[in-house]
Amino acid sequence: MFIKQAVVLLGGCLLSLASFAGFMGEPTRQPMAETFPWSITGSAGYAVLNDASASQGHTPIGRIAVGKSLGDLLWGVWGLEFGFQNGTSMELDIPETTLDILGGLPITVSVSPLLDLLATVRMMPIPRSTIFSEFKLGAAYRRMNVLGRDTVNNKSQFAFEAQAGLGIPIMEAVTISLLYQGIFGSSLGFHVDEASRTGSITNIPVQNGVLLSLSAAF
Q: Whole-prediction pTM value?
A: 0.84
What is the structure's pLDDT at 34? Answer: 61
Burial of 108 per CB tally in 10 Å (0-12, 13-18, 19+): middle
Q: Give per-residue pLDDT as tens, 129-151.
A: 789 999 999 999 999 999 999 99
What is the structure's pLDDT at 202? Answer: 97
Q: pLDDT above 70 covers what percent of the chain?
A: 84
Q: Residue 14 above 70 pLDDT?
A: no
Range from 68-77, 83-92, 145-154, 163-172 carrying the lowest mean pLDDT: 68-77
Q: Give per-residue pLDDT as tens, 162-208.
A: 999 999 999 989 999 999 999 999 999 999 999 999 999 999 999 99
Q: Which of 13, 22, 15, 17 is CA-nearest to residue 129? A: 22
Q: Residue 7 above 50 pLDDT?
A: no
Residue 44 contacts residue 214 (beta carbons within 8 Å): no
DSSP of 82-134: EEEE--EEEEB---HHHHHHTTS---EEEEPPEEEEEEEEEE-SSTT-S-EEE
Give the integer Cα–Cα distance in Å for 210 and 61: 9
Per DSSP, what are the bridge partners of residue 168? 176
What is the structure's pLDDT at 1? Answer: 54
Structural domain boundaries in the chain? 2-205
**DSSP β-ladder status, 198-200 and 174-183:** unpaired
Burial of 8 per CB tally in 10 Å (0-12, 13-18, 19+): exposed
What is the structure's pLDDT at 25? Answer: 43
Tell me the average pLDDT across 150-159. 96
What is the structure's pLDDT at 21? Answer: 42
Q: Residue 10 above 90 pLDDT?
A: no
Tell me the average pLDDT across 94-123. 95
Tell me the average pLDDT across 80-101. 96
Range from 30-44, 105-119, 186-200 carrying the lowest mean pLDDT: 30-44
Amino acid at 65: A
Our CA angle for 36, 128, 39, nearest 5°, is 20
Q: Which of 96, 178, 194, 111 is CA-nearest to residue 146? A: 111
Give the integer Cα–Cα distance in Å for 163 and 119: 10
Give the integer Cα–Cα distance in Å for 107 and 190: 11
Q: Residue 9 above 80 pLDDT?
A: no
